[in-house]
Amino acid sequence: MVKVILHGSNGHMGRIIDSLIAEDPEIEIVAGVDRVSGAVNPYPVFSSIENCKVQADVIIDFANASAEDALLDYCVTKRIPLVLCTTGLSEAQLDHVREAEKHVAVLKSANMSLGINTLIDLLHRASDVFCKAGFDVEIVEKHHRRKLDAPSGTAIALADAVNESQGNVYHYVYDRSQRRQARDDKEIGISAVRGGSIVGEHEVIFAGMDELITFRHTAYSRAVFGKGAIEAAKFLAGKGAGHYDMADVIAAD
């Protein structure tokens, strides 16, 4: 049984993970951490990670970026592996993550969805066929109207999968409104749509002469990210220091 501390236990993703773990016999939450009180949890909840004295095998983090530095220090001191799902980290915090990875296992991914990470794996292989045959590559991502950043980190990760597989010969184009010229052979167009309550949709288009191949992933709820984080926690428990991502989780299955 994998024992988890849930960092950000009373937030939206924390509640989703709570409900998913309650139905999983291989993992349990032994403590939560959240500055917001008032929720009824079947485990103790602490206002900060420094106050948590409960022993665990791994921490799942879906909290605010402002709490990340204290969490990383705690993980290093206690030697507890970390599934890091919090976004919006500063460059200084990303440096802190890289330093922590020298001492403890840290799994960080642009998207925790098992489907997206399997798609990334497929793109590495598909690109070898389509890019070498001269197909153009376009990526379209869609999210809810409240999402602040564009394009999404996942869209960039998908573009990177194509680019890395071809020796990083591509450049990215985010806006063609000021360009009156035909696309060149080594560009990947990335477009963002914002509206309504779209959880997340990503489409990778390989466009050739008289032929079109599309890879699409649609998230219908945020539970897909919670499921991925749980599988990542099971994988990471007991692992040695270093950087891990969801590709490692998928490869282990």
34 is in an annotated binding site: yes
The amino acid present at 129, given as its one-letter code, is V
Distance CA 223, CA 244 (A): 22
109 is in an annotated binding site: yes
208 is in an annotated binding site: no
1 is in an annotated binding site: no
Distance CA 175, CA 173 (A): 6
237 is in an annotated binding site: no
8 is in an annotated binding site: yes
Pick the closest to residue 61 from 89, 42, 33, 39 (CA basis): 33
Catalytic residue among 142, 143, 202, 234: 143
13 is in an annotated binding site: yes
Strands 136-143 and 200-208, by their bridges, are antiparallel
Annotate 193-252 with three-state secondary structure: EECCCCCEEEEEEEEECCEEEEEEEEECCCHHHHHHHHHHHHHHCCCCCEEECHHHHHHH
Outline where DSSP puts E strands in 25-133. 27-33, 45-46, 58-61, 82-84, 105-108
171 is in an annotated binding site: no
144 is in an annotated binding site: yes
115 is in an annotated binding site: no
35 is in an annotated binding site: yes
Assess whether 124 carries a catalytic annotation. no
Distance CA 26, CA 86 (A): 24
200 is in an annotated binding site: no
Assess whether 147 carries a catalytic annotation. yes
The DSSP element (H or E) to which 140 belongs, if any, is strand 136-143
131 is in an annotated binding site: no
Catalytic residue among 3, 78, 103, 147: 147
Q: How far is CA 67 from CA 41, 47, 104, in A?
A: 21, 11, 18
Is the peptide bond preceding residue 44 cis, with omega within 30 degrees of 0? no
Distance CA 44, CA 126 (A): 47
Binding residues: 8-13, 34-35, 85-87, 109-112, 144, 153-154
Binding residues for (S)-2,3,4,5-tetrahydrodipicolinate: 144, 153-154
Binding residues for NADP(+): 35
- Known catalytic residues? 143, 147
Binding residues for NAD(+): 8-13, 34, 85-87, 109-112
